[in-house]
Structures are given as C-alpha cells and as structure tokens.
Amino acid sequence: MTMRWEPGKPVYLETERFILRSVSPLWLAYQTLPWTEDPQIMSPFNHRTGGWSVWSWRKTMVHANNRRKFLLGIFPKTTQMLIGFETITIDRNGIGSWAVMIGDKDWWGQGAVLETRQRLLQFLFEDVGCPKVWGMPNVRNFPAVFNYNRLGFVQEGLLRQHVRSIDDEDRNDLVVFGLLKSEWQEQQGRTR
C-alpha cells in the first residue's frame, strides 16, 4: 500500500523490499548514534568518527517539514528495523538534492540504495513536481558513483579539491550528477 502524499503530511513509500517513511530528526539521531562510531559509515560523508552526542548528531540532520525538506527512514519489510535514511531538500527552483546513509552494513551491496532511490525519483518527479534531481558525492566514494551511474544520472561537473578530508587533511573532488525529469521519463519508457 502506498498512500498518496500531500504536502506537509508524512511520507510513506513502498518498494518491493523496503518501506520509506518520514521520521523525526531526534528519533533518527537516537537510532543511528551507534553508526557514528564506525569510520566505514562516517568517512564517505566526510563526518568525523566518534565524539557525537545525540544532540550534535541531530543538528546535522535536515529539519524536515515534508514540503521542501524530507527525512525518510529506510526499513526492510522483513524486519521493520531501520537500516538507513535519506535526506532530501528541494530548493527555491524546485530542484531536489539528496543524501543517503545505510548504517546497517548487512545491507551493503544488496541494492538497497538503488531500489529505494528508484522509488524516490518517482516520488520527486511525479508527486513533488521536481524538474530535476541532483547529488554531489565524493568521487572516491565508489559505491555512490556506481549508484548514480546505474540510476542514469549524468555527470554535470567536477568540483576539484572542493572539500577537505576529515581523515587525512587531503582535499577531495566532488562529482556533480544530475537527472532531468525528461531523462527519467525516457528511462521509464525504455524499461516498460
């Protein structure tokens, strides 16, 4: 069952294996605080490992209003246990940007990001009305780059040495990936 979303109301989306639903930042911070101790989870986001409180961790999260800012937990239908979350922000031009964290490592390499983001693209393009969705992963975050490629995003640019690495003071490049609604619709036509 996937309920029709109304602006300002909690989001509830389903895929074959997962439920995506609105969660509060504080609840999410409590649930995910243990993940902040794991460098494999934190490094790709250029967050420091360890030393977080629930409150400091919560401050990094989108203050969701379910209109232009969304914070969605990812729950497998089998266990209903939180395995990750997605943050989405819609800017004044209606462009959606997003970031995802899968903290339950048993789900790494299981296609959770691909499956849930396919559903999110449908939500953003058809329900929210975004003309475009974009993201900006670290180029050395190979799994993230893989997922953008598999979802059909187009590389729009490269921000060279744009961020300072939290791990080693090195400077890292970010890739700008974008997907237009028309490109997504074309993909849907090809896969049907």
Binding region for other proteins (CB under 8 A): 108-111, 113-114, 139-140, 142-147, 149-150, 155, 158, 160, 173, 175
**Cα distance between residue 81 and residue 135, in whole Å:** 26
- Cβ distance to other proteins smaller for residue 68 or 162: 162
CB of 114 to other proteins, least distance (A): 8
CB of 53 to other proteins, least distance (A): 31
CB of 110 to other proteins, least distance (A): 8
User: 3-state DSSP call for residue 97?
Assistant: strand
Max distance between CA atoms of the chain, in angstroms, equals: 48
β-pairing verdict for 171-180 and 132-135: antiparallel
CB contact at 8 A, 173 and 162: yes
**Nearest C-alpha neighbor of 84 from the set 142, 127, 37, 28:** 28
Instruction: Give me the DSSP letters along 13-60.
Output: EE-SSEEEEE--HHHHHHHHGGGGG-HHHHGGGTPPSS---HHHHHHT
CB of 143 to other proteins, least distance (A): 4
Torsion of CA 116, 121, 122, 128, to 10 degrees: 120
- Cβ distance to other proteins smaller for residue 3 or 114: 114
CB of 36 to other proteins, least distance (A): 21
